[in-house]
Amino acid sequence: MAELAAQGISRLEILPLFFAAGRHLREDVPGQLEEIARQHPVSLHLLDPVGQHSAFVDAHASIVESQAQDL
């Protein structure tokens, strides 16, 4: 974070590599991001977990479909 702030980056969007927003993502991660923001002059925005994005779901469905065709 110090390196990014030194480069002039003031806003970061965090894409959690989780399938869903479980307890860790709902409770622990926001506190960790708040602590980072207190230590560095950055605005951190927590996005929905990758598993909730339609492009991710579509990519997984495509992989499953292509594997089923090979059977």
Q: Which CATH class is domain 2-69?
A: alpha beta
Res 51: pLDDT: 93
Q: Are 52 and 20 in contact (CB under 8 A)?
A: yes
pLDDT at 70: 72
Q: Are 30 and 16 in contact (CB under 8 A)?
A: no
Q: How far apart are the first and last CA of the chain?
A: 47
pTM summary value = 0.75
- Model confidence pLDDT, tens digit, residues 16-69: 999 999 999 999 999 999 999 999 989 999 999 999 999 999 999 999 999 887
